[in-house]
Amino acid sequence: MMLKRIRFLPKAKSGHHCALNEIDKFAFGEEASENFIKLINEKPWLYTVMEREIEPENWVAAGYNVVLPVNNFAKSALMNGDMSENEITDKYILSVDEAAAIYIGALAVDKDSNIYESNRLAGVTMGQVIKLDKSIFGIVVSNAGERMVKEMCLKEKSFNNTYFKGLDNYYPKLFVK
């Protein structure tokens, strides 16, 4: 199997909107929420985009992560299952230095991604947050997501889910570091 070249961009570009929406439909079974689209436009630095080269110098979005430095209210509400991701607005997002925690809001790859690419995305995401002196957490909604957060050495914690729905009979789980 020939591996395609991939690269990571430190923020989303305006041209990524459609591709990220398609990735969401594949990875999560639905399009990105209006709120997350607003965040892409207003705070593109929250997104790291993995691109795959399909022809020489022709790159397409193949995956992404969303890393959100959140305040204490959002941290508690998300970890207790009292808030959905759709309720995260910029009033809950702070600078990394001011944040109470780092919430990994998404790790998602497209339908053409392979294990190498999803592991690279997990590795890049962990590299973004590992040295921060903050608690790190994410709510996983699929078997693939669980494999990626375990790759990042996050551990499962009890979770009283009210808002998150799992994919393919997967029950959402909270993972923390």
Q: Inform me whether the pLDDT recorded for 1 exceeds 60.
A: no
* Reported pTM: 0.89
* DSSP codes joined into one string, the chain: -PPPPEEEESS--GGGHHHHHHHHHHHHSSPPPHHHHHHHHH-GGGEEEEEEEEETTEEEEEEEEEEEEE-HHHHHHHHTT---GGG--GGGB--TTT-SEEEEEEEEE-TT--HHHHHHHHHHHHHHHTTSSSEEEEEE-SHHHHHHHHHTT-EEE----SS---STTPPPEEEE-
Tokens of 169: 């009979």
pLDDT at residue number 3: 64
Quick check: is 165 in a domain? yes
Quick check: is 39 in a domain? yes
Domain count, the chain: 1
The closest alpha carbon to 144, from 124, 173, 101, 164, belongs to 173
Quick check: is 1 in a domain? no
Quick check: is 31 in a domain? yes
Show the domain range for 160: 6-176
pLDDT at residue number 60: 93
Reported as a single tens digit per residue, the pLDDT across 74-103 is 999 999 999 988 899 889 999 999 999 999
Q: Which of 70-74, 110-114, 116-120, 145-149 has the highest mean pLDDT?
A: 70-74
Which residues have C-beta within 8 Å of that of residue 168, sequence separation ≥ 6? 142, 143
Burial of 109 (0-12, 13-18, 19+ CB in 10 A): buried
Write the CATH number for 131: 3.40.630.30
Quick check: is 63 in a domain? yes
Asked if residues 48 and 9 have their Cβ atoms less than 8 Å apart, the reply is yes
